[in-house]
Structure 1
Amino acid sequence: MPRRTGWLMSLLMMGMGCGGPLPGDVPPPVPSEDPQALGALHCPLPSSSTTKRVKTLLPPSQIGIPRFAAAPNGFVKFKGRLYFAVNFEDGQRALWKSNGTEAGTTHIRSFPSIDGGFTPPLANLAAGPTRLFFQVADPAHGNELWVSDGTGAGTTLVKDLTPGSPGSTLSHLTALGDRLVFFKEIFDSGTFRTRYELWTSDGTAAGTERLRDFGWDQGVSFKDSAADGELRFFVMGPEGTGTVLWKTDGTAAGSVPLKQLTSSHDAFIGDIQTSGSLALFVMREHTGLQELWKSDGSSGGTVRLASFGPSRVARLVGRLGSRVHVAVTSLSTQYMVLYRVPLSGGNPASFVTLPNDYATLGEAFPFIDETSSVPGGSKLYFSVTIGSDGPAPRDTQLWVTDGTAAGTVLLHRPLSLSDEYSSPVRAVSDELVFFSAFEAGGAGIEPWVSNGTPEKTRRLANIAPDAQTGSSYPRDFFRLGERVFFSAYDDTEAGQLWSTELGDNCVAP
């Protein structure tokens, strides 16, 4: 099912939302579109002249559809360099690294295809100070855990967790220093049940061990949060045990439950963000009630901050200082209202209503698609998708907010109007955000950049100028020092590694 449509349909089927009247009977003001509303900004926009392909890594795509073509992905910082995966369409896999130059973009190790284009991708890169963990398949062991020190000779299988060629299903790969924690999922085809095991690894076979078996009656949410040298995750048990927040520091003694959040066995963990030492998340109860929580990794510090009932949908936008910002959309009116929720406790306060030009024209439910901010920043960037009764959205928009009505500004519309490609949004400083957007009659879907004002929001480059190609479909914006890397479909007829240089005044956060 297409990404946006599937997400919206699942929300409507589950009855998510916020019930009862929102605080106050009068809706908050519509946001300003004044370019000066956010004040003077000084982070210069990068130049199109410094936006270049780093290196040709992939041959021309055989798929023939640019938005589905293979491209470099899985970007992480390791030992001061960019490390990433290259998954070829014929099933070959490879680990690469780059310093942003063609000569400095080098191959580390390749892996052969084991099942043609259906070979599992090299994925789940997790970087510690001296070890880079990832998962990849080879003919002898199937899809298993590997580790690298950044060299070909130092890239080795950690352990054959499922002996032989079947391979393992691993998730939540998280580096806590140089130690990895992860889950192994075991599926019983006879009973159609899944068992979750918590594991840890120091990069050696002897140091890779199971910490806990959660058994057949416990589920683990795919959402998690890493902070303060520990991974926080959610375990859903049978009725009566409910949903419990756990944490692990990579040891058996440090893998403990923190707090039971609900006795319901079918609670759903929605958005989750890590902000400093806090995990912020939204949980939907089986009644449709939605709750905003925070956790500092202790039982006493795991606290419900606000509740919203079953006639509205709540989405986490992000934290600014001492407040968490939440977008709450009415299922009946189809309007989205932004709220501030104090981290110290207190009632949510609405501060702005976003416009919806389609609210009275049938199905036009707005929802948050992407959010991005920098640690300790004063602005939150987010994209809003307005759905429809078909697979493609009616509209897509990029917004910024500083937590006030005057500082909530529409930066650009539309972004991608495809139901098969969602625009990425990545803030690389408080005053610089990268995203993709559509330009009718012009460049198609290309990389864009903004300093947080409409007047300085523009296309970064026209990477796929060929009218037949139409769009470069940029993905995975990733800042490393004075460069922002991303992948894009270009005149090589494949997804390749690209980067742009940042100005000297745009200091890394």
Structure 2
Amino acid sequence: MRVRNGGALVWMALMASGCGGLAVEPPEVTAQACPPGVASRTRVVNPPGASVNTHLDGLTDVQGTLFFTLGAPGGGTVLWRSDGTEAGTVQVRAFPAGVFAEGTPAAVGNTLFFQLADSATGMVHLWTSDGTSAGTRFIKAFTPDFNGPALRAVTAIHGRLVFFHLGASGGPALWSSDGTSAGTVLLSNLPGVLGLYFDQTLRVGDALLFFRSQGGATTLWRTDGTQAGTTSLKQLDAGSVGIQQVGRAGDQGLFVLRDGPNDEVWKTNGTAAGTLRLDTFGQRVRLVGGLGSKVYVAQSAQLYSLSLSGGGRTLVTTLPRDNPDQLPQVLRTAASGDSLYFSVGLNGLSPVPDDVRLWVTNGTAAGTRELFRSLHRDDTSYSPVFATGTGAVLFTGSPDGTANRPWFTRGTTATTGLLANVTVPVVPGLGPEPFVRAGSRVFFPATDDTGLEQLWSVPASFSCPPGVAESL
């Protein structure tokens, strides 16, 4: 595939080999890129002379307003907000040198909660902001965690922020905050909480679900942000097992337990009775997502569906690979409309994937097809897959193996194209999506003709000239 400057044709060849009756596409399908201006720079936030290593971080939607942080020249951090216009993209508050953002921000109603690490004191500070300088306030200082952000699993529950504090010593502690110092309280010390370093918690209904190892057993817990509402929900295994992945299927939480050689796929609605094992696989599996009454998982090249009401698995199809030595691995997924979009790395002999491709499925063999190659190829970072909520799915691609550019798709190769001729930063394996919808626009950081990372956005509902019609 070859791309030339935002205007050009992209040649995509779909593979039609493999089991399961994949739909056969023509060997070449033409798709057009969006014309300049559909996606646009919102504002120059990194001024001329800024370091090329200054990045936009913590993009967060707060009731339709985007917040983010940016390193300041000479050190320090600046909190910004944006309504999607140049005039409405403004600095909220600047913090001095030696203060930098860390961890994941969260929106609770119309308030942003965010973390700042202070190198002078060595502490991590929790702050809130309503989008004004006067309304940006310090809440409480916490001891740091030398293995990463000190405050984890930050979640809005019943109008409060619920989170775990991981200090330099001692086990995890569960906290709750209403945005004031007096209202930021310790709920419980909970040693043995599993998976916090890997974001393995679930928000289901009005509760945060998490996993603990207690007396050798693995249990599922829940909290509603109160001491009385922080309780053990269900024992999942008599022994200590690993939490491999969490996900969602509509209003159901999903998780995968690794018990010896087996991977167990579970669902939960936040109650003990509604927490059930759906199936057990003798090999490693990855969650792809849920459509209707089914959840989809991948076991290497095999894509299976599981009924959320139980009853075993059904093979949907087998994804093709270039050679039998490659091991396919589902990396990132997104549900959009009646389809699941997912990136698949083809892992060969090298630590770096041989290729990474974008696929879509509607849960049938005929409706499972490759859309794009190649996505970003790395062993430590993944290509994002983001549903705009209006039918389009955004992702980053690098067909020529160089720049990592923003692309879009609506589920066919003829409706897949280049969004803008800019470079989107790569995403670490566990890092958040670079794309964030706030209000009627989707924002993302991108390096453009300024040579620096700036704030870009695209309308959530956009149209670009379609490519030629596909012949099935």
Q: TM-score, normalised by structure 1?
A: 0.78
In the other structure, the counterpart of 1:481 is 439
**Larger strand proportion, structure 1 or 2?**
2
**Alignment partners' CA distance in 2, 1:218 and 1:504:** 43
**Alignment partners' CA distance in 1, 2:69 and 2:165:** 22
Q: CA offset at residue 219 of structure 1?
A: 4.3
Whichever residue aligns with residue 274 of structure 1, its letter is R
**Coordinate RMSD, CA, aligned:** 2.7
> Structure 2: any 5+ residue segments left out of the alignment?
1-17, 27-31, 428-432, 465-472
The superposition leaves residues 295-349 of structure 1 with CA deviations (integer Å, 9 ceiling, x where unpaired) of: 111111100001001xx220000000000000111xxxxxx11111000010100
**Alignment partners' CA distance in 2, 1:457 and 1:359:** 29
In the other structure, the counterpart of 2:181 is 205
Q: CA 1:447 to 1:145, structure 2 compared with 1: closer, same or farther past 3 Å?
A: same
Q: CA offset at residue 60 of structure 1?
A: 6.1
| Matched-pair contact (CA < 8 Å) for 2:209–2:270 | yes
The superposition leaves residues 87-120 of structure 1 with CA deviations (integer Å, 9 ceiling, x where unpaired) of: 4586421211111111110111122232xxxx65
**Alignment partners' CA distance in 1, 2:127 and 2:305:** 43
Q: Quick check: 1:50 aligned with 2:38?
A: yes
| 1:359 aligns with one of 300, 308, 324 | 324
Q: CA 1:489 to 1:176, structure 2 compared with 1: closer, same or farther past 3 Å?
A: same
**Alignment partners' CA distance in 1, 2:393 and 2:249:** 19
Within 5 Å, give how 1:374-393 maps onto structure 2.
Answer: 374=336, 377-393=337-353
Q: CA offset at residue 274 of structure 1?
A: 3.0
| Matched-pair contact (CA < 8 Å) for 2:389–2:460 | no
Within 5 Å, give how 1:79-158 maps onto structure 2.
Answer: 79-88=63-72, 91-114=75-98, 120-138=100-118, 139=120, 142-158=123-139
Q: CA 1:440 to 1:183, structure 2 compared with 1: closer, same or farther past 3 Å?
A: same
The superposition leaves residues 126-178 of structure 1 with CA deviations (integer Å, 9 ceiling, x where unpaired) of: 10113211111244572121111221111111122449xxx982111111142
**Alignment partners' CA distance in 2, 1:262 and 1:89:** 52
In the other structure, the counterpart of 1:178 is 159
Q: CA offset at residue 422 of structure 1?
A: 2.7
In the other structure, the counterpart of 2:289 is 318
Q: CA 1:219 to 1:413, structure 2 compared with 1: closer, same or farther past 3 Å?
A: closer
Q: CA offset at residue 57 of structure 1?
A: 1.4
Whichever residue aligns with residue 454 of structure 2, its letter is Q
**Alignment partners' CA distance in 2, 1:30 and 1:271:** 29
**Alignment partners' CA distance in 2, 1:258 and 1:238:** 16
In the other structure, the counterpart of 2:59 is 75
**Alignment partners' CA distance in 2, 1:168 and 1:386:** 31
Q: Quick check: 1:426 aligned with 2:392?
A: no
Within 5 Å, give how 1:455-494 maps onto structure 2.
Answer: 455-463=414-422, 476-494=434-452
In the other structure, the counterpart of 1:333 is none
Aligned residues, how many?
Answer: 431
**Alignment partners' CA distance in 2, 1:379 and 1:79:** 27
Q: TM-score, normalised by structure 2?
A: 0.84
Q: CA 1:472 to 1:219, structure 2 compared with 1: closer, same or farther past 3 Å?
A: closer
**Alignment partners' CA distance in 2, 1:87 and 1:259:** 44
Question: What percent of counterpart residues are identical?
Answer: 39
Q: Quick check: 1:227 aligned with 2:211?
A: no
Q: CA offset at residue 481 of structure 1?
A: 3.4
**Alignment partners' CA distance in 2, 1:124 and 1:208:** 18
In the other structure, the counterpart of 1:274 is 248
| 2:208 aligned counterpart, secondary structure | strand
Q: CA 1:244 to 1:87, structure 2 compared with 1: closer, same or farther past 3 Å?
A: farther
| Matched-pair contact (CA < 8 Å) for 1:328–1:338 | yes
Q: CA offset at residue 30 of structure 1?
A: 4.6
| Matched-pair contact (CA < 8 Å) for 1:366–1:384 | yes
The superposition leaves residues 396-423 of structure 1 with CA deviations (integer Å, 9 ceiling, x where unpaired) of: 1000100000110100011112445532
Within 5 Å, give how 1:305-454 maps onto structure 2.
Answer: 305-309=278-282, 312-329=283-300, 336-360=301-325, 364-374=326-336, 377-419=337-379, 421-429=381-389, 431-440=391-400, 444-454=403-413
| 1:259 aligns with one of 196, 209, 234 | 234
| Matched-pair contact (CA < 8 Å) for 2:373–2:399 | no
| Matched-pair contact (CA < 8 Å) for 2:103–2:150 | no
In the other structure, the counterpart of 1:34 is 25
Q: CA 1:61 to 1:384, structure 2 compared with 1: closer, same or farther past 3 Å?
A: farther
| 2:349 aligned counterpart, secondary structure | coil
**Alignment partners' CA distance in 1, 2:104 and 2:134:** 20
Whichever residue aligns with residue 167 of structure 2, its letter is I
